[in-house]
Copies of this chain bind each other. A is one copy, B any other.
């Protein structure tokens, strides 16, 4: 069992779901630091005792086994497979994103090519929600919950400070896709509420439209809050393999804020919503944690049944009440495939998201969240006459 790529708030829930299901019946090893652990043969035994002693780790963000990125090339996987064979490993589950699914696929192929029967199963995990083959990935819901609440709260702060700062550009994670950026609209109730603008990378970018949008929003509300996905300016160039060292991304918001300042002369700041998006424990969605646990357990079940070459996934039943069922997707269909926002969920106007997207998001982030009323305005209730 290993964890790879960037961690999330619920990657350890998947780990513990897996361990609790698998341990009574198997001997188990943890792969340290994801693909690096495969490359460098860093395994630690995980026992019932380990799990019992560390059960609170389930609720801890990050990756207890260590995760991270590692520059693995296709030709490296035969050696990884050989190394696992020497330890007489029968099955491997990796928790990760689409780069990790690519590694799972390579490893399974490499093992087969050397006549080694190794079952490999992938467990999805990404805050970006860019994994194909699943309704959503564990990790995303909690990140979306953080994004929508922090945009609401920071937005309220900015509304209260109108006379100090005109424009704030808030930057979400998400690499090339706009799932998290669009989630910022979830708690927007009125046209006046922040965010006033959302830019998902899928929609491309036009500087002149952006500046017009900001100018209009500022004129309408007296301040403007824009949310942008980190991949908007093509920074988050798609890597195919998340284990290949990728350039540090982030900074679109600052570039755009500078653009606003220069062209519109409005005081403006860019702000990255930061690592808290994928790690802040106070924002965890309960459902996200439950589903992460479930998928871990189901992956253990699959391995035991000898299933291989698949990612475990969530399929939403077309019911009015939220229900998911667990399915398996061939790794070949998800490995290195990027899942953008569907066309019909890219439409955004005045910082809103399509209603069907909001409905899709509702059961994931939790219904107990609420929108704020507007601040008092001098215009609406001003005592303009002398008493």
Contact = CB atoms under 8 A, between A and B. Distances in A.
B159 A62 contact: yes
Contact of A44 (B32, B44, B373, B382): B382
A66 interface: yes
Interface in A263-283: 267, 269, 271-276, 278-283
A274 B275 contact: no
A35 to B, nearest CB: 9
A156 interface: yes
B378 A6 contact: no
A154 B267 contact: no
B273 A160 contact: no
Contact of A248 (B43, B149, B267, B376): B267
A36 interface: yes
A20 to B, nearest CB: 17
B373 A57 contact: yes
A256 B282 CA distance: 28
Q: What number of copies of this chain does the assembly contain? A: 2
Interface stretch (A115-123, A161-169, A345-353): A161-169
A289 interface: no
A279 B271 CA distance: 14
Interface stretch (A67-75, A296-304, A308-316, A334-342): A67-75
B164 A69 contact: yes
Nearest to A383: B43
Contacts of A164: 68-69, 245
Contact of A153 (B29, B66, B267, B280): B280
Given A86-B386, A283-B282, A62 B375 contact: yes
Interface string A12-41: 000000000000000001101100110010
A259 interface: no
A276 B279 contact: no
A88 interface: yes
A205 interface: no
Interface of A: 3, 6-7, 9, 29-30, 32-33, 36-37, 40, 42-45, 54, 56-57, 60-70, 86-88, 149-150, 153-154, 156-165, 168, 245, 248, 267, 269, 271-276, 278-283, 370, 372-373, 375-378, 381-383, 386-387
20 contacts: A7-B156, A7-B157, A43-B383, A44-B383, A45-B381, A45-B383, A57-B373, A60-B372, A61-B153, A62-B160, A63-B160, A64-B160, A66-B163, A66-B378, A68-B161, A69-B163, A87-B386, A87-B387, A154-B280, A157-B278
